[in-house]
Amino acid sequence: MDVMDAIRARFSVRSFKHYDIEDSKLERVMEAARLAPSARNLQEWRFVVVRNEETRETLSEAANGQRFLAEAPAVIVGCAITSEHVMSCGLHCFPIDVSIAMAYMTLAAVEEGLGTCWVGAFSEERVHDVLGIPREVIIVGLLPIGYPDAEAPPKKRLPLNEIMMLEEWRGE
């Protein structure tokens, strides 16, 4: 599978089969995160992989009761160990860097026959408590991962000519 095939095949999976993920597949997904680019190569991300059923259940509750987190065989919690670094454009590096790494994981997961769903609706305080993550570490996102138990729905995307501008901004 090439990258564009993975991009086209990826969808937000909210229904998972009750199969464990092979360690080798999970390691390849995590390797994709490790190889992701980061500002100044700081690699300020860290990931907690949660496979324990009771812990996933509690994470599901911390994520506004989104049941599919508990049903996924694993949840990857994307964290930033610092928020100090700011790019010259004024943006903090950590949400971008962790997001890039998690995006790489989603594409690697597709290649492995797995599915994911980026979850940003959660109580950071509760996730800190559930996983014993220090308060200075920022939780950027939750990524349930497993074998999809649903087919990809049709994607609704704007046409390229509506999102791409050449040489200068053209207003609407």
Run of H or E including 50: strand 45-50
Confidence of residue 172 (pLDDT cuts 50, 70, 90): low
Number of domains comprising the chain: 1
CA dist., res. 169 & res. 79, Å (int): 34
CA dist., res. 160 & res. 156, Å (int): 12
Mean pLDDT of the chain: 95
CATH of the domain at 18: 3.40.109.10
CB 126 within 8 A of CB 63: no
Q: Is residue 33 part of a domain?
A: yes
Question: pTM, whole model, 2 decimals?
Answer: 0.95
For residue 148, report the phi and psi dihedrals to the nearest 5 degrees. Answer: -60, 140
Residue-wise pLDDT tens digits, 87-98:
899 999 999 999
Q: Is residue 169 part of a domain?
A: no
Residue 83: what pLDDT?
81
Q: Is residue 86 part of a domain?
A: yes
Residue-wise pLDDT tens digits, 1-43:
899 999 999 999 999 999 999 999 999 999 999 999 999 999 9
Share of the chain above pLDDT 90, in %: 90
Q: Which two tokens stand for residue 47?
A: 């990931």
Residue-wise pLDDT tens digits, 59-83:
999 999 999 999 999 999 999 998 8
Pairing of strands 115-116, 138-146: antiparallel
Q: Is residue 168 part of a domain?
A: no
Residue-wise pLDDT tens digits, 111-130:
999 999 999 999 999 999 99
Residue 84: what pLDDT?
87
| Direct distance between the N- and C-terminal alpha carbons of the chain, in angstroms, rounded to an integer | 37
